[in-house]
Every structure is written in structure tokens, then in C-alpha cells.
Amino acid sequence: MKSTMEILTKLQENSQKNHDEIFTRLYRYLLRPDIYFIAYQHLYSNKGAGAKGVNDDTADGFSEQYVTAIIEALRTGSYEPKPVRRTYIQKKNGKLRPLGLPVFADKLVQEAIRMILEAIYEPIFSIYSHGFRPGRSCHTALAM
């Protein structure tokens, strides 16, 4: 069986070659455990990974059983994202900035979905598009 990274690379190549192709059956990639381990690697380095949402679920509770429970909930259709905990952070000017803190399981599923969609759409975006893209920013836009 191919690894998820090989599959994502193949999706990226197909997207680049066939711009008009419609990708179907993507949900099955969310049912593969290895995508969650890669997503965990992306999330754990973020200092917000230890922040608690509406429950005590954090990156520290990550395990193979944790992934199995998420996959089983997705497979049976019983997965439901939890509400986001709203916190306010003091800004320098005295105003408050709202911050939403999702539970870690939701972050993990979101990261897995982001990886799949990025593999499909990143190769076909315009070279002039810089917003919210990997390796691109307003500075790279100005440099063009």
C-alpha cells in the first residue's frame, strides 16, 4: 500500500497535468492513519498546540488509539467538531482581539483536509497569487 505522502504527490502531479480534472473519492484519504501522523508533525511544532479548547484535548494526548478513534468516528459519520472556545487577548492599544481555540482533534482533521486540498489546488493557482500560500507572502509579492 502506498504511503499518504506518495498519494498526495501523485494528486499534485495529476492536478498540474490536468487542470480541468475533477477529483473524487478524496474522503477515503481521511480514513488513513498515516495522514494524521504527518498532520501531527505539522501541528506539534506550533506553540498553540498545547492550548485547550472547550475540553482538555491537547497535542499531548496524541496516540495511535487517538487516531483510530477519529478515523472510526469519520467512517461511521458520527464525527462532530466541537465548539471553539473564545478568548480575548489584550492588544497594545488597549483593545481586545478575539481568538478562537479549537480542540486538538478538530485541528488535526483540519490539517489533514488542508494537506489534501493543498496537493490538488496549489499547482494550479496563479503565480501572482500570494495570500495564504506556502512559501509565499506579501514580501514575495512585492519582489515579483
Rounded to the nearest integer, the mean pLDDT of the chain is 88
- Domain residues for the domain of 37 are 4-143
Average pLDDT score over residue span 69-90: 94
Place 94 in a pLDDT band, splitting at 50, 70 and 90: very high
The one-character DSSP state at 49 is G
What whole-number percentage of the chain has pLDDT above 70? Answer: 99
* Cell representation of residue 17: 497535468
Q: How many domains does the chain have?
A: 1
Q: Name which of 109, 122, 107 is nearest 29 in CA terms.
A: 109
**pLDDT of 1:** 67
Question: Between these two residues, 13 and 60, which has the higher pLDDT value?
Answer: 13
Whether the full predicted model's pTM is greater than 0.75, yes or no, is yes
- DSSP calls for 71-139: HHHHHHT---PPPPEEEEEE-TTS-EEEEEE--HHHHHHHHHHHHHHHHHHGGGS-TT--TT-TT--HH
Whether the pLDDT of residue 68 is over 70: the answer is yes
Instruction: State the average pLDDT over residues 26-44.
Output: 93
